């Protein structure tokens, strides 16, 4: 029974397989496989021959068969709360870029911060991916332990949990630096619009705010207002802040989306930013510089976050898992624009370049 005999036995037009290539090139499938995977010595001559036949036949290896055999899918799974929005899509982009270079694919799914949905997604990815990048700022990871415990290399994004490798943003440092900046400008009654209660980023930013407030000597608690990271919640929060009898002089929104809402609310009351009220955010979303006035904020290199997390999974995949969990922290930088009322000369401050945590950059 020649190798070609069983071509197109069942459904479909039948694709060309490694057997077809082998037959046509007059060698065995093993040789073809070796040539294609650059393994073990194959005579130059044979190699060229095989390659040529493969190309002429438009042979494309069947990934399923390959995966089944080598037990690798060359795909990594990404589970995020959402798959849209400035932040998440930028993370995806960062990962995609790195993955592509490494010959990997990405499988993306949003969990909507819902425990069951998350479990579902995780279950569905099982077996499809060689590693997992999970971001779950809201859902307690312990709840997912069962699914995550299986021996898949895992990297946590912006959330920490014992025993797992994690990559996070320096939320605390960023918030703290922003507060120092506001302090420098003379502000001390600084209101803070918080993010969702159990969101890890949000609570770190809050921690930075509180710590700085304590240093400044303000009573932070009175000035904290709840928010949900949405423009709408920022708008609402600003409303409540502006209504205070002892009005703060600055508003620090825990993310830019809320800052956008704040700007809108402040303008709606006929007040001027930054003259009547300084407004700052966190994230440096693309439109931040185009707001009126341009928003002072904390810049986060999100794509880098994605890139690093990919490197981390790959690392664990490649050397088998048994290395201990690491924890990386991506530095942030202050971007001073006009909404904070700072003099707007172009100036760039870098502390001893290199391992700086939070750099500061001012722009026009």
Partner DNA sequence: CGCCGAAATGTAAACGGTTACATTCGAGAC
Partner DNA sequence: GTCTCGAATGTAACCGTTTACATTTCGGCG
Point out which residues bind a second copy (CB under 8 A). 11-13, 15, 60-65, 67-68, 71, 73, 75, 82-86, 88-90, 92-93, 96-97, 100, 105-110, 121, 123-128, 151, 231, 235, 257, 260-261, 263-264, 267, 286-287, 289-292, 294
Examine residue 355 and tell whether it contacts DNA (CB under 7 A). Answer: no
- Return the residue of 48, 55, 65, 188 that touches DNA, per CB under 7 A: 65
Examine residue 40 and tell whether it contacts DNA (CB under 7 A). Answer: yes
Q: In sequence order, what E strands does the chain have?
A: 75-80, 105-110, 131-135, 154-157, 165-169, 190-193, 224-225, 250-253, 278-280, 297-300, 327-330, 332-336, 348-349, 358-362
Which residue lies nearer to a second copy by CB, 140 or 287? 287
Distance CA 125, CA 110 (A): 12
Q: Which two tokens stand for residue 21?
A: 């290539």
Which residue lies nearer to a second copy by CB, 38 or 245? 38
Distance CA 293, CA 191 (A): 19
Distance CA 244, CA 302 (A): 35
Examine residue 58 and tell whether it contacts DNA (CB under 7 A). Answer: no
Q: Which does 100 bind (CB under 5 to 8 A by kind): DNA, a second copy, none?
A: a second copy
Q: Which does 124 bind (CB under 5 to 8 A by kind): DNA, a second copy, none?
A: a second copy
Q: Which does 359 bind (CB under 5 to 8 A by kind): DNA, a second copy, none?
A: none
Examine residue 319 and tell whether it contacts DNA (CB under 7 A). Answer: no
| Beta bridge partner(s), residue 52 | none
Examine residue 15 and tell whether it contacts DNA (CB under 7 A). Answer: yes
Distance CA 80, CA 83 (A): 6
HSE, side-chain direction, 13 A CA sphere, residue 26: 4
Q: Which does 81 bind (CB under 5 to 8 A by kind): a second copy, DNA, none?
A: none
- Return the residue of 39, 101, 145, 244 that touches DNA, per CB under 7 A: 39
Say what the alpha-carbon torsion angle 137, 256, 303, 79 is, to the nearest 10 degrees: 30
Q: CA–CA distance from 136 to each of 18, 111, 123, 172, 310 (Å)?
A: 42, 8, 16, 18, 16
Tell me the closest approach of the beta carbon of residue 279 to a second copy, in angstroms: 12
Examine residue 18 and tell whether it contacts DNA (CB under 7 A). Answer: yes
Which residue lies nearer to DNA by CB, 18 or 340? 18
| Closest to 223 (Cα-Cα) out of 185, 176, 260, 188 | 188
Examine residue 126 and tell whether it contacts DNA (CB under 7 A). Answer: no
- Return the residue of 2, 38, 58, 69 that touches DNA, per CB under 7 A: 69
| Closest to 254 (Cα-Cα) out of 321, 320, 169 | 169
Instruction: At 36, give phi and psi (nearest 5°).
Output: -65, -30
Tell me the closest approach of the beta carbon of residue 183 to a second copy, in angstroms: 28
Q: CA–CA distance from 121 to each of 69, 270, 272 (Å)?
A: 25, 47, 46
Q: Which residues bind DNA (CB under 7 A)?
A: 6, 9-10, 14-15, 17-19, 26-31, 33-34, 36-37, 39-43, 45-47, 59-62, 65-66, 68-71
């Amino acid at each position: 029974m020649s190798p070609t005999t069983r071509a197109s036995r069942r459904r479909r037009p039948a694709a060309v397989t490694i057997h077809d290539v082998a037959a046509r090139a007059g060698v065995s499938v093993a040789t073809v496989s070796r040539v294609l995977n650059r393994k073990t010595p194959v005579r130059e001559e044979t190699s060229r021959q095989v390659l040529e036949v493969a190309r002429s036949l438009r042979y494309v290896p069947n990934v399923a068969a390959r995966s089944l055999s080598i037990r690798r899918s060359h795909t990594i799974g990404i589970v995020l709360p959402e798959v849209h929005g400035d932040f998440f899509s930028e993370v995806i982009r960062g990962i995609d870029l790195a993955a592509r270079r490494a010959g990997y694919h990405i499988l993306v799914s949003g969990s909507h911060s819902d425990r069951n949905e998350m479990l579902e997604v995780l279950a569905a990815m099982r077996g499809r991916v060689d590693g997992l990048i999970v971001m779950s700022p809201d859902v307690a990871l312990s709840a997912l332990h069962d699914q995550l415990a299986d021996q898949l290399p895992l990297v946590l994004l912006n959330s920490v949990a014992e025993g797992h490798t994690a990559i996070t943003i320096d939320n605390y440092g960023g918030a703290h630096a922003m507060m120092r900046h506001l302090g420098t400008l003379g502000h001390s009654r600084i209101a803070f619009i918080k993010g969702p209660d159990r969101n890890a980023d949000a609570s770190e930013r809050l921690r930075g705010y509180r710590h700085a407030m304590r240093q400044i000597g303000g009573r932070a608690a009175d000035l904290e207002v709840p928010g949900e990271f949405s423009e709408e919640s920022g708008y609402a929060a600003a409303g409540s802040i502006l209504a205070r009898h002892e009005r703060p002089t600055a508003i620090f929104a825990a993310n830019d989306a809320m800052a956008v809402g704040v700007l809108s609310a402040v303008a709606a009351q006929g007040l001027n930013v930054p003259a009547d009220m300084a407004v700052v955010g966190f994230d440096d979303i693309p439109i931040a510089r185009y707001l009126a006035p341009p928003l002072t904020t904390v810049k986060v290199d999100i794509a880098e976050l994605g890139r690093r997390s990919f490197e981390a999974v790959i690392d664990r995949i490649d050397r088998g898992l048994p290395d201990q969990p690491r924890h990386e922290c991506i530095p942030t930088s202050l971007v001073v624009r006009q909404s904070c009322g700072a003099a707007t000369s172009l100036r760039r401050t870098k502390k001893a370049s290199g391992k700086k945590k939070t750099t500061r950059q001012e722009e026009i």
